[in-house]
A and B are shown apart, each in its own frame.
Chain A
Amino acid sequence: MNSGSVSNGQFMSYEREPAKRVFAAELREASKMIKDSEDEKSPVYLLLPTGERCNRVLIAGAITQKDKVGDQNILYRARVSDPTGIFYINASSYQPEAMHQLAKIDTSTPSFVVVVGKPNAYTTPDGKTLISVRAESIVVVDQETRDLWVQDAARSTLDRVDALVSDVPSADVVLARETYHLSAEHWKKMVSDALSRIMQL
């Protein structure tokens, strides 16, 4: 249902992949990459534990660290924390805009950022799968925008969780249930913990 292109008469018109709103604690648990066909150009998706595929994410949080790596091929790495955990962000010279945006951000004092990017799974030498996000853009925002994102990610996650426990599951939900073994309650707890951090007391 989330194919990257839609048939439009004889032409294939490109339809941009939407950016999924995912909390760090969920993205961290994701590990399975899926592909619809063997075709080289067929897009690769990350299967989220709540049962939806994604190849673009929208995330927000506080940036806590930024490092410049390499001399010839410069790569910037950053860590962004939401109320549930850490996102690992990178931007190389293949994403010049995101790299310049990240280079400009001052991390000596905390600030909120919104990141749009592509999730990538890579395996560490000790066999652990880590998910990093290759940034397409990274922008400093105010607290209200971050809070709106927490609401947005909460709503999206709860929608996915509803589908995860559905009696008529989609193929991706079936695959997610087989791959990941975390309950709907686990994700709801994560959502309510995240919300409680932005709640007016």
Chain B
Amino acid sequence: MDAQQIQQITDRISQNLVSKGVSPDKHSISEKLTLYINEFGVVPFEAERKVLSDQYKQHKIPEEAKPAAGSSSGDLVHIADIQPNDWVSVEVKVVSLQAPNSPAIAQSGIFADSTGAVRFVVFSKASELPKLELEKWYRIDSAVVDSFKGVANLKLHSGSRVTEIEDDRCLVPSEPAKLNELKAGVVSCIHVKFIEEWESRSDRMMQSGLVADESGRMKFVLWQDPDKEKLIPGAVYNIFYASVDEYNGRLSLTLNSAVWIQDEDAEISVPVSAGSSAPKEPLPVSSIRDLSVGYASLRVKFVEEWESKSERMMQTGLVGDETGRIKFVLWQDESKERLELGRVYEIINAKVDEFNGRLSISLNPATYSAEEPTADIAVGTRMDEVSGTIVQVSKGSGLVRRCPVEGCNRVLSRQNFCPIHEIQNSFNYDLRIKGVVDNGQRAYNVLVNREVTEALSGMTMDQAIEIASNSPLGLEEIQSVLTERLCGRYVKCFGTDFDGRILVKSAEFIRLDPNVTAELMNRAGASAGGNGI
């Protein structure tokens, strides 16, 4: 919601207070409205009701109204110095314009000055503002610095002022930043080599892969855009004003906002850093369960062949060992041989990649050989995967006492009573969650073991024992701690179905992916004017 609408509500509340004989603190009212409406997504009429009712409460003890906020057209600041929630004035060049992805937005893109660059958005409601043009300089007064997931962006609303700067000035781009020093936001300039091109996973994606400089490497994405041209693999570029996005703690570059110039004379020696470059010696064989991104050797059976989705892909499917299964990919390469379904292979130095939290292996850098046709591996059962919200942490969750009789391990009742071995004088503690994970279509009962419970809740069993012994509620306290920390959260669980209950072997929180919002937005707007009922 833009400042003009907030202002209107602020005025209504203020008039109401004046009529009650109270002089309103407009600044604080407008701040609270902004907090509720913009930060907490509260609908405007509810925010108005809430703030007004808080004001009524507050003025039973009359307070001296704070001085009204100073003029909003502050001093001129550099982009590098702007802070979230500031009202600022800047002199900037429009270096990139993108198609707005919502009707509420008139223009969006990137501003730059000599100190840095920042994303901006002009709201449609601010219809009196002139249309910003690419490559032109403007003085912007009274723009609001907003922060989304720690990244500043500049919002131009109907209270902002825009003046075109006529004098001819040039923007001196800053020195290229190093990839290992990037932060989420917009990077003015990087000097990188395009070292690896990846298969596009969606029609919307034009190109993706890895770029690298002397300090490191980073994934990039270029979404479909008729005005952009693909990068040439192996070439070195100066890339200006790329967006740096963070997802799951990893940074990636989005190039749609950027411009790039190939630097034909330059060569970059990309570092050979641990984990990302092929090892020279054969690695010892690991289990699929223990894999992480990098390189690994495996002894596996080829258990499932999938149709390859692209001509560049020679073969894909699942290989498995006793501990699990993993997707493999073999890209077209004349020197490589296809695998034979059902055979056991020793694979030396395969590359382990991660996409959206799932691992897969690439066989192209690896050497592999089939064992005797009689060789076999009892491949671990496929894990069930359930994603959804934890909608209930049930009774019996938390700390439990287990029967110490060997081979029993049953949960003891409050009186330390085992249904088989009766009263026990000692016991073993355990920590677990009995709960329900619900994906909106179906509710799954889950049983989460100690290790995973500790990881999800951030509470070790020893800490739980200490909390329980200091709480008047005893063991019940642990169930309520687990509820507070986990109920309502989105998780992805892996485990095996046992009698209608999923025994969870591993679990992770689902993180927010802003691309999903954009995709859903497309879906919601895709057939506007279509299928009315």
| Overall SS of chain B's interface | mixed
Residue A81 contacts which of B41, B102, B108 (CB distance < 8 angstroms)? Answer: B41
Cα separation A83 to B286 with both chains bound (whole Å): 49
Residue B148 contacts which of A65, A191, A200 (CB distance < 8 angstroms)? Answer: A200
A79 (CB) vs chain B CBs: closest residue: B46
A131 lies within 8 A of chain B by Cβ: no
B514 lies within 8 A of chain A by Cβ: yes
B102 (CB) vs chain A CBs: closest residue: A196
B510 (CB) vs chain A CBs: closest residue: A148
Over the window 493-533 of chain B, the binary record of Cβ atoms lying under 8 Å from chain A Cβ atoms (1 yes, 0 no) is 00000001000000000111010111011011101111111
A198 lies within 8 A of chain B by Cβ: yes
The segment out of A30-38, A118-126, A151-159 that lies at the interface is A151-159
Cα separation A164 to B490 with both chains bound (whole Å): 27
Over the window 102-129 of chain A, the binary record of Cβ atoms lying under 8 Å from chain B Cβ atoms (1 yes, 0 no) is 0000000010111010000000000000
Cα separation A81 to B33 with both chains bound (whole Å): 14
Q: From residue A183, how far is it (CB to closest CB) to chain B in Å?
A: 4
Asked if A201 and B520 make an inter-chain contact with CB atoms under 8 angstroms apart, the answer reads no
A192 lies within 8 A of chain B by Cβ: yes
Cα separation A128 to B507 with both chains bound (whole Å): 45
Asked if B42 and A185 make an inter-chain contact with CB atoms under 8 angstroms apart, the answer reads no
Cα separation A62 to B37 with both chains bound (whole Å): 10
Over the window 19-33 of chain A, the binary record of Cβ atoms lying under 8 Å from chain B Cβ atoms (1 yes, 0 no) is 111001000000000
Q: From residue A166, how far is it (CB to closest CB) to chain B in Å?
A: 10
B442 lies within 8 A of chain A by Cβ: yes
Q: How large is the interface on A (under 10, 10 to 19, 20 to 34, 35 or more residues)?
A: 35 or more
Cα separation A195 to B522 with both chains bound (whole Å): 10
Asked if B490 and A152 make an inter-chain contact with CB atoms under 8 angstroms apart, the answer reads yes
The segment out of B270-278, B349-357, B464-472, B480-488 that lies at the interface is B480-488
Q: From residue A191, how far is it (CB to closest CB) to chain B in Å?
A: 4
Over the window 33-64 of chain A, the binary record of Cβ atoms lying under 8 Å from chain B Cβ atoms (1 yes, 0 no) is 00000000000000000000000001011101
Cα separation A38 to B518 with both chains bound (whole Å): 45
Asked if B520 and A146 make an inter-chain contact with CB atoms under 8 angstroms apart, the answer reads no
Given A18-B441, A116-B391, A188-B525, check contact A83 B517 (CB 8 Å). Answer: no
B11-40, CB < 8 A from A: 35-36, 39-40
Asked if B510 and A136 make an inter-chain contact with CB atoms under 8 angstroms apart, the answer reads no
Given A116-B391, A199-B518, A200-B514, check contact A60 B102 (CB 8 Å). Answer: no
Asked if A198 and B533 make an inter-chain contact with CB atoms under 8 angstroms apart, the answer reads no
A68 lies within 8 A of chain B by Cβ: no
Over the window 65-101 of chain A, the binary record of Cβ atoms lying under 8 Å from chain B Cβ atoms (1 yes, 0 no) is 1000000000000010111111000000000010001
Residues of A within 8 A of B527 (CB): 188
Residues of B within 8 A of A85 (CB): 43, 46
B72 lies within 8 A of chain A by Cβ: no
B316 lies within 8 A of chain A by Cβ: no
Residues of A within 8 A of B521 (CB): 192, 195-196, 199
Residue B42 contacts which of A62, A139, A147, A156 (CB distance < 8 angstroms)? Answer: A62
The segment out of B193-201, B227-235, B409-417, B432-440 that lies at the interface is B432-440
**A62, A84, A145, A177 interface centre (most CB from chain B within 10 Å):** A62
**B42, B104, B523 interface centre (most CB from chain A within 10 Å):** B42
Asked if B50 and A58 make an inter-chain contact with CB atoms under 8 angstroms apart, the answer reads no
Residues of B within 8 A of A177 (CB): 533
B526 (CB) vs chain A CBs: closest residue: A188
A137 (CB) vs chain B CBs: closest residue: B487
Q: From residue A149, how far is it (CB to closest CB) to chain B in Å?
A: 8
7 contacts between A and B (CB under 8 A): A15-B443, A60-B488, A62-B36, A85-B43, A148-B512, A185-B528, A195-B524
Q: Given A16-B445, A185-B531, A199-B514, 19 other A-B contacts at CB below 8 A?
A: A16-B436, A18-B438, A20-B440, A58-B391, A62-B40, A64-B42, A64-B47, A82-B41, A110-B36, A110-B39, A114-B488, A116-B488, A137-B487, A151-B517, A155-B520, A185-B532, A188-B527, A200-B514, A201-B105
